Every structure is written in structure tokens, then in C-alpha cells.
Amino acid sequence: MRTAFLLPLALCAHLLAAAPVHAQAAKYELDPDHITVAFLVDHIGYAKVLGLFRSARGSYRFDEATATLSEVRIEVETASVFSNQRKRDDHLKGPDFLNSGEFPRMVFTASSARRTSERNFEINGQLELLGKSLPLTLQATWNKSAESPMGGPLRKPYVMGVSARGSFKRSAYGMNYAVSNGWVGDEVPLIIEFEAVRQ
């Protein structure tokens, strides 16, 4: 009787021991002091104008043991656009372009990512802009993860650094100003660089 009782317990213990252990994906918050969301737009074929957004935030989950990325969200304040020319910046905030008064945020989200090599990922997500949500793919590189040397004496944060690139056509979002005459490029390459702190 005792043997019959102990046998199922031993079997359960064996199965539990053999089951794979999955590490919990840690949450990362983008460091607002170390994030760049920038863009390039062609100007009449002469050169490209470099602009950026001064205010952005976001988070994601990452399991470093399995290199699994999930729950990506990056929010950009459209009124924070800066291209080093005041009149142009005011135009970019207006209805011809970002229409910041009506649409204060541009948001990129992705539920998961595909690992393409040891430190590279393809992130297929959605970019919400001007009230429309359309597919956007980012090619991201995991640069480094380590305890930051910049922390205080009692706690040094664990930081992950990422570089990402992508592009979209602004006309797909109804941003058609100067597209037909070629004065302002339709294709908008994105440059994203950030450090994120593990929570």
C-alpha cells in the first residue's frame, strides 16, 4: 500500500525535475536621458534634413537567457519635433505634417520579435500616426547589457543598449504635403538609439 502511494509521488517529482525552467522576462524602461528618435527627409533632392523628437518614452520585456523580446511600446511626443530651424519646426507641428494639436503622440508597438542572428532582431509592429495604425518593421541590434558604471555606490542599474532602424512612407498616413512635386521626400528613414534600465 505504501509503495503504491509513493510511486505516483516519485513519478511527479521526476517529471518536475525534467521540465525545462523558463526565466521570467524582465521589464525594461527606456532611459529618457539616453534615447534618440530621429528621422531623415529628402529636400528637393539636394540633401536630407535631419530631425529628432526631444521627448520619448517606452518599455519592453526581454528574457536575456533566451533572447526573447516582447511587449514593445515606444511613445513619441510629436510636438517635441526639432530640426534646428524654428519656422520649419512650426510647420512640422502643423496640419501639413504631424498635426500635433490633434495627434500629440506617435506610438510604435510590437508583441514579439524574430531573432535573426546572435544580437540582431526583426521587430514587426504597428506605427500609430495621425490616427492611423500601419505595419512598421524595425531592424534592431542588441549592443550591450551590463551593470552600468554610472550608478551610485549602493545600486548600479542593469542597462541594455539598442540601435534600431526602419522607414515608412508618410503619404500612407495622409501626410501628402509636397509629395507630388518632389520637394519633400515621401520615404522617412528612422534612427532609434536608446539605453533601457531593467526594473
- pLDDT tens digits, residue range 141-159? 999 999 998 877 778 899 9
Residue 27 belongs to some domain of the structure: yes
Quote the CA–CA distance of 160 and 193 in Å, as a whole number: 11
Region 178-190: mean pLDDT is 98
What mean pLDDT, rounded, does the chain reach? 91
pLDDT above 70 as % of the chain: 88
What tens digit of pLDDT does each residue of 85-140 get? 999 999 999 999 999 999 999 999 999 999 999 999 999 999 999 999 999 999 99
Q: How many CB atoms lie within 10 A of CB 13?
A: 10
Residue 153 belongs to some domain of the structure: yes
CATH number for 131:
2.40.128.110
Residue 3: the pLDDT is 46
Residue 191 belongs to some domain of the structure: yes
**Residues found in the chain:** 199
Number of domains the chain is built from: 1
171: phi then psi, degrees, rounded to nearest 5: -65, -25
How far, in whole angstroms, is CA 164 from its chain's centroid?
8
Residue 147 belongs to some domain of the structure: yes
Residue 10: the pLDDT is 46
- How are beta strands 56-63 and 26-43 bridged, if at all? antiparallel
Residue 2 belongs to some domain of the structure: no
Residue 6 belongs to some domain of the structure: no
DSSP state of 20: P
Residue 5 belongs to some domain of the structure: no
What does pTM read for this prediction?
0.86
Residue 10 belongs to some domain of the structure: no
Domain that holds residue 66: 23-198
